[in-house]
Structure 1
């Protein structure tokens, strides 16, 4: 994106900043205000609904208490001392229920048999355990229960608030259990009272509903014991419409401001960016090789100083570039020399150890000296040839040789490397575990160089301490792996991020190139070198290469 375009956009964004700050604050305050108003309305409506339910319960309780204290009930229980079912008629409770404004009323004897039922006359002479259980309640308040009523669809259960009171005459006791059904009439009354959508639920099933609430909505629930609940649903549509109105106004203002600011920004940026564009063109020509470019654009202030500095820079650039190129060539050859010395030094130790082993065997006149000599001489000659090739490649290209990939049996190659360490230092035990048939495509010489480096480092880590040096070859479906694990001091966690960096070393006299070169070799093979192990308990280096099919 060009600077001119960026400046125009910057002006546009600056124009939007006041609106972007004011409008969210306004929306937040409006939302908070509307939310508080809705919460207050919900609280008041919920309190009104609760009060209405309590008032209905109190009226039904008072009606039942007046009924049991009435002369009619006293006469009824007196006449029913001998045969209640013969004296109390099926429609007796219905008349008493309607006279007191109740919608549920049942008369029971002390055993729980229905003598008369106003809301379900057919139950006369049968027990009604659910309704009679109210007589065992100790609370003077009405109890929410489910009662059976008959409607157009047949017999169904609906919630009701009922009160149980005894009627005694001598040793005769009858029970009057009455109250009000929570039905559509109550739901409509609560909907008008609270201006909300009202749903009566019983056992998770809707039994009555009234009112409506436009989405989005928020709900408030009033439990009625474990039997039923009243769900009040309030609409947030008014608050949402107010928020959307403010947002539409903001978008309109933002569009107008953005258009004006973009026009102003284009005009100003065109004047401001001319010197910058001249500098950009000059820098592009410098990048193409014209090191003596001079910018002639007129400018003042900081941009003018930048133009003068650019012209001075280009006048000095050619000489500075030539000096830097000379310095880089010297540094490159120094790095080549350090890497060459390091790579030559590593194989000298196993070669010397092989020769010392031969000399010791010769002096001891060991009977297997010819075989040992043949094996060691072959290994030494192979290492000498590898060193010759490395020196030749370094001298010609000043870099690591390009890998010559071919199938390599890692078990056989590792065994060949370990033969250089047939007589490890005192206290160090070599423990190989080599899985056969693990083949990778690799440069045999370079991979040998990596393994020799890792085994040598592991041996040096345990010098003076001793322990087991474990070398494992294993394979997975995708990878061929060689692990070299020692029981030395391990690699501190804070050093692991830098351990493969060139020239980073924690060993006295170390060059810091061994692991860096090993990691580079494996990278060019399409593999990787991983470090593991617990600090203080040894280190584990894993050579991971793609497995050959």
Structure 2
């Protein structure tokens, strides 16, 4: 199972400080950004209203100018006289003079088309002469009839075709009268209707764009047809926007067009005579300048926020360091206490807060633990020496009894029966010598255990060293089937060769002695990661858990002739070599000893101090 990464208290505190600082900073940035955005939106709406007002004024001026030009043409004296003469003959008179006069007048105006009509047909047209004596058409017939009946000029907006042009146009139909013989021109009958018009075309849209500096979109009849300036992409405003303008002429929407952002609004194009909306001028007020200003402001704000975050990080890190450094010092003290290094464990935390109070309390505790440990160590040493003295006294007492008995018997026989004394003297002397030899061996083992020589480390071929001990002792043991196996020939460890031989000699001899009736002895050498493991396993009598727990205790033995120092010496040697060791045993099944040595790299020197466990 993969371990989850652990965050230190310092990292957690730093993150907490940053979060606490970032949340209000982000909130302020969001509120400020929203407020500025709303302010920019409020600035866009006056520009939209100003553009709408300018367009409305221009549209009104265009209507007035078109109407004025139409009425001026209709009241032209020469044209009125020619039309009057033609009307007197039932419009059967030659129309060439009228056509020439109409063409001459048309060239002096800005009108896109002019038509002179009787109640039934077109008498003359400019600039499209092909309409001569053609029907008026449904778009003009009704309006012209109204002019003939009322004698009043009409102004409207309608979609018409004039020559090659077609589209929405301002149309003025004015009565043509000849005032001769009448006190007032309005009293004269209507001889013809003068139909004039000016198309709302791109030229007009360009003029509106130049007037307002806005994007102009033209929607005659509710459908997009043209724009100024010309746009390559389809406008983002569809029928839904036009329908919204029908309901609310002040409706606006923000859309992108050509990669730029606009605030769009609309102005209806209504016919002056009926008020019917014939189309819309959609006005787009660019928001790019405001958008750029907002982006610059946001960039500045982000830079400020990053700078603030950096300062917050430095501040948070400094504060967290101030909080965690004393805690780290206390942790170091706790580790040193665990290692028993009480003099080094005293901390220097002097803060005037709860952590400082804890540091002072820990120093007091260290003093108490150090004093207690010294007393405990002293009592343990005394207890240990008492136990050793008791065991030595017990071991010495065992041979002293037969020595005492032998000497007493020899003394009594020497005084009572010298002849019998000479007979038993050799046997008694041998007994005394044997027991003295036991005492000497006991003294030597104790001296050796108490004064274990310092290891002389070198590179040792561990599999070879173990195999030599197995061949020396186990192969010749009666009834014992010894087996040696190694999967790492030539594996080197850093060890004292003589002490290493003593360790394995002791373990193998113990295993053989645990199988007095014969059995199997397995000695295995294996490489596991960067360690060399040696396992010594027998099928002997085994031990129960209580016996197994005491096998490394000095002078504890389960053998009648054992000194109890063999495994204690093994433990001492392995500790000096930094080797890990363990024992497993089961009564009636046998015992296993496992020792783990750190493998020595071949390019690493073997000489020096003791290895680390």
- TM-score, normalised to structure 1's length? 0.47
Q: Which structure ranks higher in relative contact order (CA pairs < 8 Å, sequence separation ≥ 6)?
A: 1
- TM-score, normalised to structure 2's length? 0.42
Higher-Rg member (1/2): 2
